Structure 1
Amino acid sequence: MADADAWAFIKNQSHNILDPAGLDHYVRRENMIMRWTLPLLFYITRSAVLILLIQGLLGCGFLYLFLREVFRSTGDRVLTVLMGLGLSNMFIFSWFFVDTIGYGDGFAYFFLMLALVSRKSLPIFIFLQIAFFTDERALIGAGCVILWWTTKEALPNQHKDHTFGNFLKKAFTPRTWVVIAGVGVYFAFRSYIMDTYFPHHTYSTVGEPVMFADAHRQGLGGSLWFAFEGMWLILGIAGFVLYRTGRFWLLAALTVAFVMLLITGIFVHDINRDYGYGFPLLLIANLILARCIPPAEYRKLVFVSAFFCIVSPMCYTMGYNKVIWAEPLPVKAMMALDRIKGWGTFD
């Protein structure tokens, strides 16, 4: 952990955030130049370990807020528990505890969640800025937050028109304008900082679809699966329900969000991390299915999804040259039994 390049550069940024040393030492550093949340935390705490402890606590808070929204949508404790089992065995939640090399996505996920559940403009604005300055991909996550609010407004209208004009009325609420203003302020400030302090800075990987290069393309399918695992079933059926009920504009908006996350992941070689910023899509799918299919059928669906999340292994990319595979606990138990019995199934 301590010798990870991300932590080394975070320490450099904490000393001088506008002129960090060693900027050209490693290709990843050029992408971290406006990611200020962890450097500022390191400046305050002087401890990577303490930052990781905070990250773990935020993960617990993230899980609580996520499941609170699930329960508010369904009113079903059993279903909420099943959803919690699925989420706790997925990348999005486990990354809060596995990320020890300084990516910091957990901070962005958590503050996006706070923005999602907040009702007042100032907290939303502040939470979004913290997320944006953790990782730029939170900008796409902010769009997913808007889609969550839009879905909550649009879904109850079972028998009203689903025209584009009506969809826009539901989408552009006061909170949406706060998000748009937050994005505008972020880009204006970022542009000023880059022009003033980093006028010659370039991004060497911009315009290159990294996931299609060399052997990386062979991991594209696996990366997509590990992003949501069994929850892809819920997402897919929610999309089908929108199609069958004629909510085409909402379906189109959600499809655009998925495509944007995929394109970003392909260009930066972090599809599972990238789709983590789309966690509001899981809440949206839950809301759609809770409103549109019988509760008993939805329970069965979540049970199957959670089962696949639990039994599926997890894969984490730690930098450019290290991949960690983590077998789920049920599989580890079977592997232990296999070794005791000498069956050799997992050899």
Structure 2
Amino acid sequence: MKLSDIAKLVDGEIVGEGNVDIRQVAKIEEARPGDITFLANLKYKKYVVTTLASAVLVSKELPLQEFAQRRKALSFVVVPDPYRSFLRLIDTFQPAPAGAGLKGIHPSAVIAPSALVDADAAIGAFVAIGEGCRIGPGAAIHEGTVIGEGAEVGEDSLLYPNVSVREGCRIGSRVVIHSGTVIGSDGFGFAPKPDGTYEKIPQRGIVVIEDDVEIGANCTIDRATIGETHIGKGVKLDNLIQIGHNVVISENTVIAAQSGVSGSTKVGKNCSLGGQVGLTGHIQIAEQTKIGAQSGVGKSITEPGKTYFGYPAREVRETLRIEAALARLPALLGQVRELTNRVQELEKSLRPRKIRKK
């Protein structure tokens, strides 16, 4: 593909030679002649000088004249958002196969007589689909996946190998679930008994996952005790995430790996949780909240649009002030010891002396 055609595709402006042949996309550090790459973060602009790529997607912020003079053989395509433009080119040069390569229904799949599987769905080897299930058009269910009784998988959804969707749970359209994830396992509910043992609380609810959600590998989303555990439209979950029973994750929220959300907590729209964040149960997180990695949130966040960090999580500016103060603590303790010693010496010198009687 000519670079001039790529510029039209991403609505960009060429600086340099537009007749260059582009064969592939690549990272800026690894690109070879014939590749196109991108620069979205100016921290990596040093690679513009060393890359072997034939072209680079850049934003207007890059000082193009400086680099154009040093790399005369390199062409640039100026776009509003280099990262998003590059994502579009990935799909152009490396399109994903429909259903990730899965076609038809494998003869080893076990499908209950009452299950409704659309003719355009694809079912892999050793898949088990229970009674009363519904599998929508264009859905692709890969090897070893189990769909429990009465569960639903929507149109064009993609379930990779060894996913479990337990009974009654509902998966929307264009949902992607990666390997090893379990949807609808029992919530963690046990009532203490007088003799010190525990009685299991029945978990009779379901999990509802709305459209355009992506869930990483080895996540667990527990079914509600009663009602629904709800994952909103456009939510993105990384690998190794635990979502407790009756949790609500509202639309377009993103959560990074190894995070946990305890039961009955509600997370608002467009929130962002870093890796290893922990949210205690029965709290609410306001929309557009950002929570930094390894933070622990023990109470509700009611004001939207704030950034929190630390354990316990506080507004990030307050946390940074506390961290700065803690860094000075050893020196302050030394000063306290020194002042304490000086006070003690002063007290000794001011004590009245006993007068001996003759």
Band the TM-score falls in, shorter-chain normalisation: under 0.3
Higher relative contact order (CA 8 A, sep 6+): 1
TM-score normalised over the length of structure 2: 0.21
TM-score normalised over the length of structure 1: 0.22
Which structure has the highest strand share of the two?
Answer: 2
